[in-house]
Amino acid sequence: MKHQTILILDFGGQYNQLIARRVRECGVYCELVSYTAPLSRLKAMDPIGIIFTGGPHSVYAPGAPSVDPEIFTWGVPVLGICYGCQLMAHLLGGSVIPAQDDSAREYGKTPARFDTACALFKDLPAESVTWMSHGDYMERVPDGFVTAAWSDACPHAAIADSVRGFYGVQFHPEVNHTEYGRQMLRAFLYDVCHATGDWTMGDFKDRSVAALREKIGDKKVLLALSGGVDSSVAAALLAEAVGSQLTCVFVDHGLMRKDEGDEVQAAFAPWPINFVRVNAEERFLGKLAGVTEPERKRKIIGEEFIRVFEAEAKKIGAVDYLVQGTIYPDVVESGTGDAAVIKSHHNVGGLPDYVDFKEIIEPLRLLFKDEVRQLGRELGLPEYLVSRQPFPGPGLAIRVIGEVTKDKLDTLREADFIFRDEVAKAHLEGAMDQYFAVLTNMRSVGVMGDGRTYDYTLALRSVTTADFMTADWTRIPYEVLDAVSTRIVNSVPGINRVVYDITSKPPATVEWE
């Protein structure tokens, strides 16, 4: 059965995979494809609708990302978002120019007014908050278009040609900050593109299992198992697809949280899979000695992971495929196409140039974290594993600022355990999507028992988020923070000051490095 498909044309913006997630939330299958893809490939997808994404460029600049205007002759509805809106206007005869002064540029939460006769805004309030991020604006809309929304600084915040099914919004409906953004996207999918909602996570599971069986055949597979949600779900998916052909290798690199290595091994003991635990603490710490730069840490860890897996594959014999639990946010932040690199994830941008496997398989690459959890439930994984806190592949190495040493790791492990323990005692786990401690490289003066100390500052970090593309800092009750701080300072040597990070994403990332 072929599903209805929305084609999302990627022009390099940081929110682009989030658009795909929003579309899939509506029960509609979509694929994100680079704007550089041949027009023949795009047409062969037979989309019921097309979305042009945002991007960091100006449409009028030489060499700016573009698309063949033939795409507008297919009789398929098109929605342009931010850069995509400006590109559509530019290609169809409108005028896009740079803002003449700061007052005409819009960034962040911006009130806008809407023509509720437009299909995108039908049954929505005539005024609400949108999320803007643009320094250019449409001075003149193309023939056949009307203005469907406007703000104080932007005369054409949305445009529409209902006859051809072309719509453009200057703001970002895909982010939570746009109050009715999801309803606007759903209106485009169902009222303009006439989607029926024929895609589910259960169907994704079935299609993935079938595709993996066809691809792998009778070959052997090695899976990089961290014990986190992503790799655990990948393991369950591969176990269903190829069973005993799968070997899961858990690399205990000495960068795990307190007792985590033993917990991971115990969790997978009942599974009918080949489970191998590799104790590689000395190897990893040796490679990280003297390294302070975050990107270098990530790349070192990424390469060592691969080398350990290669060594284990040789022991097993004739392993063709390496499987990783890479998900969409990993890919976005590691940089794709025209998008900027935020930070290299060890299993994406941190991979070495040469990998001694026939191919790397990433079955979760198209999924966001909440979708991975949903897939885990479809596969029958226990809830405690599916709902587990995210933990970065490089582990505590990117939560120790500066050089990574065993002493610093042991200090951080104890402090992080106390933080998580107090959160559990306060029954706050459900209100916090990721929370952890960071051992900073800053030392300051303190006093303990009438004596002077000069020890490290520990930072606590907690965020709430649905997708990890954007996140807000958690409002932890003061009494819980007080209990955490008091307990850490009194019982963990080397720490005399505790601070709480109250920065959202953006502008920060969830992790510090």
The catalytic position among 82, 85, 154, 193 is 82
Backbone angles phi, psi at 417, to 5 degrees: -60, -45
What pLDDT sits at residue 134?
A: 64
Q: Could you tell me which of 267, 447, 327, 271 has the C-alpha nearest to residue 18?
A: 327
C-alpha 52/C-alpha 78 separation (Å) is 7
Strands in 162-257 per DSSP E: 166-169, 220-224, 246-252
C-alpha 36/C-alpha 166 separation (Å) is 21
C-alpha 505/C-alpha 463 separation (Å) is 9
Is domain 5-192 annotated with CATH 3.30.70.860? no
Residue 182 is encoded by which pair of tokens?
């999801």
C-alpha 320/C-alpha 110 separation (Å) is 52
* Sequence spans of domains, the chain: 5-192, 201-386, 399-500
Q: At 200, is the secondary structure helix, strand, or coil? A: coil
Q: Show Cβ contacts of residue 475 under 8 Å, excluding neighbours closer than 6 positions.
A: none
What pLDDT sits at residue 115?
A: 96
Q: Could you tell me which of 169, 129, 122, 174 has the C-alpha nearest to residue 147?
A: 169
What CA–CA distances, in Å, run from 509 to 14, 400, 401, 471? 13, 16, 15, 8
Residue 18 amino acid letter:
L
For the chain, state the CA radius of gyration. Answer: 25
Cα 161 from chain centroid? 33
pLDDT single digits (tens) 208-239: 999 999 999 999 998 988 778 898 899 999 99
Contacts of 146-152 with CB under 8 Å at 24 or more apart are 146/115, 147/115, 148/114, 148/115, 148/118, 148/120, 148/121, 149/112, 149/113, 149/114, 149/115, 149/118, 149/121, 150/112, 150/113, 151/106, 151/110, 151/111, 151/112, 151/113, 152/111
82: annotated active-site residue: yes
What's the average pLDDT block by block, 10 residues per block, for the chain (513 residues)? 89 86 92 93 96 92 94 97 94 86 64 95 94 79 94 89 96 91 97 94 91 94 85 92 90 91 81 87 96 93 86 83 83 49 41 63 87 92 81 90 96 97 93 94 85 92 84 95 97 96 92 92
Burial 212-235 (b: 16+ CB within 10 A, else e): beeebeeebbbbbbbbbbbbbbbb
Residue 65 amino acid letter:
P
Residue 416 is encoded by which pair of tokens?
């992080």
C-alpha 196/C-alpha 346 separation (Å) is 38
The catalytic position among 57, 90, 172, 345 is 172
Superfamily of segment(s) 201-386: HUPs (3.40.50.620)
pLDDT single digits (tens) 68-114: 999 999 999 999 999 999 999 999 999 888 876 655 556 668 889 99
The catalytic position among 106, 174, 304, 513 is 174
The answer to whether the beta carbons of residues 442 and 453 sit under 8 Å apart is: no
Hey, do 5-192 and 201-386 end up sharing a CATH topology, with the first three levels equal?
Answer: yes
177: annotated active-site residue: no
What pLDDT sits at residue 105?
A: 57
Q: Could you tell me which of 232, 239, 260 has the C-alpha nearest to residue 381?
A: 232
What pLDDT sits at residue 101?
A: 60
172: annotated active-site residue: yes
Cα 326 from chain centroid? 10
> Quick one: CATH architecture of 399-500?
2-Layer Sandwich (3.30)
C-alpha 258/C-alpha 234 separation (Å) is 24
CA angle 408, 434, 425 (to 5 degrees): 85
